[in-house]
Amino acid sequence: MIQDPYVVLVVDHEFLDIPAYVEWDPTRRSIGIVQSGGAVAELRTLVPADVKELFETARTILLMTRFNGTKVAHRVNLIVHS
């Protein structure tokens, strides 16, 4: 998840819309990828303890996805729910 100086999140999924931002809710153990059109792709996952603090303090991340068959990097805001 970390590649200095960025927090990198790789999601092997073909998105039909452009990701707008990412939400992380540690209580629900979910990461939501909110797309420009309003759709939300929700991932049920546990952020590993060794990167949890970095994930909590990051305000932007690099989100790696696929779009039209091509690997794409998006620099998006990260919202952390407390």
pLDDT digit string, tens, across residues 5-64 = 788 889 988 888 999 999 998 888 889 999 999 999 998 887 777 778 888 888 899 999
Where b means 16+ CB within 10 Å and e means fewer, 27-60 reads eeebbbbbbeeeeebeeeeebeeeeeeebeebee
The pairing of beta strand 60-67 with beta strand 6-14? parallel
Cβ(9)–Cβ(31) under 8 Å? yes
Which residue, among 35, 24, 28, has the nearest Cα to 78 in the 3D structure? 24
**pTM, rounded to two decimals:** 0.85
